[in-house]
Amino acid sequence: AVPSVEELAADPVRLRELRQQCKTDRPTMGDVLCNRVAEATNRRFLGDGKVPYTPPKEPPKF
């Protein structure tokens, strides 16, 4: 059974191991699992996507 994105995102150690395996051996690991691993990694990094982007009040000056 392929773990869900939520399960993977909740287990950073396992997620890191699976990311490494997907990098080195994707054909054996399978696209479904590796796509879920990537999605879980994004969720951990970006959050759950519920917080909208709020630009600063002052525009940046270059």
pTM beyond 0.75: no
pLDDT at site 59: 83
Q: What is the pLDDT of residues 10-33, one digit of tens each?
A: 999 999 999 999 999 999 999 999
The residue among 4, 1, 2, 27 whose CA lies nearest residue 43 is: 4
Using CA atoms, how far apart are residues 26 and 8, in angstroms rounded to an integer?
17
Helices 12-29, 31-46: axis angle to 10 degrees equals: 150
Condensed to tens digits (0 to 9), the pLDDT of residues 43-54 reads 888 776 676 777
With CA atoms as reference, report the closest residue to 12 among 49, 48, 40, 50: 40
